[in-house]
Structure formats: structure tokens, C-alpha cells
Chains A and B, each alone.
Chain A
């Protein structure tokens, strides 16, 4: 019935419109019309021609309810969930400010793209499980009419974590926690490992944990693109250079004076110019990844005597990590999971053509300089290849094809994310510091931050161990399984 009505009603209507009338929205030659109007005004007005009707399309809006600093997967996830969970459709204006629209240094695009549930903290496991179900149903969450369905290129091959003698007990208790939370992980002895994956050399391996479902790797660009194209959010390319705050001195219940700040303006500076736009806002979300500490410093977080709450800085700093791609024709077959060795080296298959990619986290003393994203090939030769060749003998004859480097937004305190509001700067919320597992926790964290903003507390997954307060109180929420 509807099928027959629509083409008749609208089709005939469109054909009988006369040319020159406005169809819903701007007419098609808006830029041409504007330049004509400008010429007319210039010819009419006396004196030197000034720039009338300046073009401000590149500037962000002057008012916005929420400003998300950082347009990576975490920032976009928070923006997406804010729009999903708002009470009225179109009730919130969300502005995402991203400094580099090519995402050349953003951790999201340079990431290996893995998702796994093999953590020691229950909150991390739940976040990862939710993210897996988000990715599985991504075409329901991020459906946009007229756009083709998203293909995440998800490889459900799982993660295989190897543990030496001294880590075996920790791994067993971790797997127990993971099973309790609902992750499908199983423990394997060295004999079972050799049966299942004959290309592994089990020397030095006491125990292994293998994720069977909801684990693997996917294409992070696709997720980023899917989140971006879901309409409803304003995007702006610019850099946040200043927060204009106002302070209030208040008395706590213990009769202490405390200065609470709130940000009411964000200055967004345009690329390659001094032009900036002050954006009035109610809430600021710090999702700037490796550069979150700079944004926090702009808001005055950490400016105070050390040891006090005012003096507690955001302990997130950029750490450079390398990823190498190599070709090995005799390497492990199609069933290869992402293998994480006892030494910290990891690798996974890439595509059908015997290519593999992997790397290793350097020790604290060998941390490379994060000033640029140059790749150090000697690191592979000396620190990664020997471990890979030991674990998989076929990798003795590999050939490195390419390599790249990316940043971890590394939380130097306890390598877990910072989520939630700051106690003193009342309208800044953090969603950063995930030290290498931000991509796999992004959907869950985005939802948690949106719940915190809209409801005032975490509703689905309780991320209270990840609040900012722990840096001041000194309570570490340590995660033991970091790659």
C-alpha cells in the first residue's frame, strides 16, 4: 500500500516543480550565490572593499553542550553513546574537536586492532565482552540508511597467551576470574599446545590460555569510519589551546576550603593560522589519547603543591610502540591465533598470503623517545626476532616487509584507563590512559562515560576503580596482562 502511494505522490510532485524554486534545504549552487551577493554588496558600498559575509564554515559552532577533545575511537564512542542515550532526540549538541583529520598519529589507526577478554580485572573483562557484542552487532548499532553495511574484517581466531613457570599460578587465577565473568577461555598444557599448534616450540612454557570466542582482531579504521558517519555530531578540525574556567571556593564537610573549577569556554585554534573560536560549553571530555596530559594541564589539573589533590597530575604519557610486518612462507597456518609469548613478544597472521605482524613492548629502561614516529629496525633484530624464532622455529627465515610506530596513551600509574569526572574540575570527564587496550574497550567506556554524564553514575558496568581519585589516594588498579 505504501509502496504504491509514495512514487505517485512525490514523483509527480517533483516533476511538476518549476526550476528556480527552492527544494527543501539550500539550493544547489549556494557558493556561487554567495559570491554573487558579495560582489553586489562590494559594488554598492562606498570605500575600500572589506570582507563581507566572511566564510566561517571551517569554524566550530559558538555554543555546544558537550565538547569532546580528541576524535579517535574513544572520543567518537563517547559522542555516539551520548547521542544514543540522550532523552530527547537532538537534545544535546556534541562537538568533536580533532587536531589532525588525517589521523596520521592517532593511536586508533596505527593499532594492531586486537580484542581479547584475557585480563585480570573483572571490569576490563566486562568492557571487552560488551565491545565484542557491539562489534558483532555493529550493523544494528551503526546502521545508516543508504550506506553499505560495515565490514569489520573481524578474525575470530582468538588470543593465545603463554606463561612460564613463575607466571603460571597468576594465569590460572586470571582464567578463573575470566570464566566467572563469562569469557570463553580455556587452559592448555604444553602437550595440548603441541597437539593443537604443531608449529609452536613449547620450551619454557608451563601453561597457556586460549580464548575460544569473542576474541580476535579487526580493522580499526572501519570502526572509526562507522562511528563518524553516524550523524548527529558536529566535527571540527582544530586544536584546543585554552580553557576559560571559573572557580568557586567551597567548604567541605571537614571544614576545609576547596576550589572547584568549571570550564565554560573552550578555545579551538584553527590549523596554520592564529584564528580561534571560543566555544561555550557545559561539559568537556578529555579523550585526547597520548596527549591527554597536555589537555588536562590546560585546565589546571596538576597545578598545585605536589601531594595534594590540586597537585595530582594526570599520569598519562605517550609511549612509542613498534609494529613490524614480515613474510614467512613456511609459517603457521590459517588457524593461528594472536600469540603472546612469555617474553612479551606477540604476533598474528595478516591476510591469506603468509604475512605476519607483531612486536614487543620494550622494558622500562629501553623506552624509545616518543618525539616522533620513526621506526627502529634494530629493535626488531635484537629484541623481537630472537624471541619469535625461539617460539616458532619457522620464523628463523622471515623477511621484514614494513613497519610502523604508534603511541600508547600509557598510564604510568597502573596501566589502566582513567574514566569519569575530575574531583576538582567538575565538568571535565576523562576517557583516556588505556595503555594499549583502548580500542577494544572503546564501546564500553563510551557508554560508561555517557551514563556518568546523563545519569550521574555508572549504570551497566561499574568503572569506579577507574576514577581519577585513585591517583591522589594512591590505590592502584593494576592490570597484570598487558602486552
Chain B
């Protein structure tokens, strides 16, 4: 959690362009100073091969860091069982896990966590909080080891996109709660794959910048998953209101 973000920030201020590659269109609005830096960077890039090559190299390095984080831990399954292997992956990424009838296990600020979970061979993992983790499509291999997962939180994960959502169907029997709030790459096309998760009771799709029409998407997702409470967008937000009308504050929270 803390560790990955710090390293990005060291590289970020000059190389706003490289961070831009990882974030989908316009999620972060550049202020005046950043805009000037970005223009200078683009000018340099277009006129000098060295700058272009350097930027390309730095971009490749960022991508290989993410790949390294998402390498496969399935080999741990034979020795320690699937639940411990999956939990190890999540804890290494900076997320938190909760085994059945146990407390939440979180890594401390140095990234270390207590080794007690290695003993929980037969205890299934009930809940995973992978907020702000850099999980991507390959990393889901490790997450899908946790067959009896009931609650999954993927809030603000920068690399979770529509392809990842199409991979969640093996958890359909057990998954009851899913949160995708703030994921910059998830769009309504990925949300369409969630219809496999028929046991889902609570779905959070607030603050998804890539969804083109949040109100309409909320309605369609509610139709798709009739037993699920879909939290996120106030559907009245998408409607055009007259000058006299005020938006009504309904039960679902309006995203900030």
C-alpha cells in the first residue's frame, strides 16, 4: 500500500507522461504547472530520439515492476494449501485478508505481516481487501485460488480493467460482496460480465470514471442482478433537471 505509491511519486513529477500511460484518459486533470512541464516533455520527445528512448525505457521499467508484483504464487499451493497461497499474494501486494472466524490480517508499514496465516491450511479466506493494490489480469490467477471468498474489495485498483472482471466467474458460488469503487479502468462493458455472480448481494460501482453513463449503467446492472443491492450512483444524476427542480437525496450515497 504505502511502498508502491512512494516509488511512483519519485518518478512522477517530471515524467507525468509515463504515469499518464497507466491512467485512462483524463482521470487526473493537470494543473497549470504540470501542463507546462507536460508540453515541454512532449516537445523534447518529438525532437530528440534520446528523450523518446529514455521515456520508452522508463515506461517499460514501470510495466515490468507491475508484472513482477503479479507473478504467480500458485506453486505455494502444494505446500501450504490454496488459501494460504492466495493470502500470501494479497498481503505481499499490500492488501488485507480475513480468514473465517479470525481477525483481519494486514501488513504493517514495512510490508511485513505476522506469519500465523501459514498454519491455516484448511481455513478458507472469507474476505479480501485489495484496495489500492496493483493487481492486474495475471495476478488474478493467485486471487482465484481462494475458492470460498465471500467479500472482495478492489477499490481504486489502477490496473483492474474489464478483462479482469471477466475472470471473476469462478467465484460465483461464494462471492456475496464486491466493491469496484474508484477503479479508473472499469467500464460498463466489464460490468456486463458480472452477471455470472448470481450470489452477489452487494455491489459497489460508485465513482467509475470510465463508465460513460453512470445512471443508465446502474439501472441496467440492477436489472441484470435482481437479487443484488447495487450501490453507487444516484440514477437521477443522469437526468437533466429543470431550473426549479432540486436533485432529491435518495437512499444511495451520491459520489463525491
List residues of chain A with CB under 8 Å of any chain B CB. 2-3, 6-7, 10-11, 23-25, 136, 139-140, 143, 145-146, 148-149, 151, 153-158, 212-214, 216, 333-335, 352-353
- Measured between beta carbons, the chain B residues less than 8 angstroms from A23 are 47
* Shortest 4 CB-CB contacts between residues of A and residues of B: A156-B166, A335-B195, A155-B189, A3-B14
| Residues of B153-187 contacting chain A, CB below 8 A | 162-163, 165-167, 169, 187
The interface residues of chain A, by DSSP majority, are classed as: loop
| Residues of B35-75 contacting chain A, CB below 8 A | 40, 42, 44-48, 52, 55-56, 59, 63
Name the one of A154, A213, A333 contacting B224, with C-beta atoms under 8 angstroms.
A333
Cβ–Cβ contact A145 & B52, under 8 A:
yes
Cβ–Cβ contact B192 & A146, under 8 A:
no
Cβ–Cβ contact B220 & A352, under 8 A:
yes
Cβ–Cβ contact B47 & A213, under 8 A:
no
Cβ–Cβ contact B13 & A24, under 8 A:
no
Annotate B201-241 by CB proximity to A: 1 below 8 A, 0 otherwise: 00000000000110011001101100000000000000000
- Measured between beta carbons, the chain A residues less than 8 angstroms from B187 are 153
Name the one of B52, B55, B189 contacting A156, with C-beta atoms under 8 angstroms.
B189
Q: A153-B189, A334-B191 are in contact. Are A24 and B47 (CB under 8 A)?
A: yes
Cβ–Cβ contact B163 & A352, under 8 A:
no
Question: Which bracket fits the contact residues of B?
Answer: 35 or more
- Measured between beta carbons, the chain B residues less than 8 angstroms from A213 are 166-167, 169
- Measured between beta carbons, the chain A residues less than 8 angstroms from B55 are 145
Cβ–Cβ contact B137 & A136, under 8 A:
yes
Q: Does B253 contact A (CB under 8 A)?
A: no
Name the one of A25, A140, A145, A148 contacting B47, with C-beta atoms under 8 angstroms.
A25
Shortest Cβ distance from residue A24 to the other chain B in the assembled complex, whole angstroms: 6
- Measured between beta carbons, the chain B residues less than 8 angstroms from A136 are 137, 163
| Bound-state Cα–Cα, A333 to B217, Å | 11
Residue with the greatest number of chain A CB neighbours at <10 A, chosen from B48, B162, B223: B162
| Bound-state Cα–Cα, A3 to B169, Å | 44
- Measured between beta carbons, the chain B residues less than 8 angstroms from A145 are 17, 45, 52, 55-56, 59
The interface residues of chain B, by DSSP majority, are classed as: helix
- Measured between beta carbons, the chain A residues less than 8 angstroms from B13 are 3
| Bound-state Cα–Cα, A445 to B167, Å | 26
Cβ–Cβ contact A334 & B223, under 8 A:
yes
- Measured between beta carbons, the chain A residues less than 8 angstroms from B256 are none
- Measured between beta carbons, the chain B residues less than 8 angstroms from A333 are 220, 223-224
List residues of chain B with CB under 8 Å of any chain A CB. 13-14, 17, 20-22, 24-25, 40, 42, 44-48, 52, 55-56, 59, 63, 137, 162-163, 165-167, 169, 187-193, 195-196, 212-213, 216-217, 220-221, 223-224
Q: Which residue of A lies closest to B41 (CB)?
A: A146
Shortest Cβ distance from residue A194 to the other chain B in the assembled complex, whole angstroms: 14
A-B contacts, 18 of them at CB < 8 A, read A3-B13, A11-B40, A143-B21, A146-B17, A148-B20, A149-B24, A151-B25, A153-B187, A154-B189, A156-B189, A212-B169, A212-B196, A213-B166, A213-B169, A214-B166, A216-B189, A334-B221, A352-B213
Cβ–Cβ contact B163 & A156, under 8 A:
yes
| Bound-state Cα–Cα, A3 to B52, Å | 15
Name the one of A25, A140, A334 contacting B195, with C-beta atoms under 8 angstroms.
A334
| Bound-state Cα–Cα, A352 to B17, Å | 32
Cβ–Cβ contact A157 & B25, under 8 A:
no
Cβ–Cβ contact A334 & B224, under 8 A:
yes
- Measured between beta carbons, the chain B residues less than 8 angstroms from A157 are 189, 192-193
- Measured between beta carbons, the chain B residues less than 8 angstroms from A3 are 13-14
Shortest Cβ distance from residue B77 to the other chain A in the assembled complex, whole angstroms: 19
Cβ–Cβ contact A149 & B21, under 8 A:
yes
Cβ–Cβ contact B44 & A156, under 8 A:
no
Shortest Cβ distance from residue B158 to the other chain A in the assembled complex, whole angstroms: 12
Q: Which residue of A lies closest to B49 (CB)?
A: A24
| Bound-state Cα–Cα, A122 to B48, Å | 46
- Measured between beta carbons, the chain A residues less than 8 angstroms from B169 are 212-213
- Measured between beta carbons, the chain A residues less than 8 angstroms from B22 are 149
Cβ–Cβ contact A334 & B220, under 8 A:
yes
Shortest Cβ distance from residue A181 to the other chain B in the assembled complex, whole angstroms: 18
Q: Which residue of B lies closest to A337 (CB)?
A: B192
- Measured between beta carbons, the chain B residues less than 8 angstroms from A353 are 216
- Measured between beta carbons, the chain B residues less than 8 angstroms from A6 are 14
| Bound-state Cα–Cα, A449 to B44, Å | 36
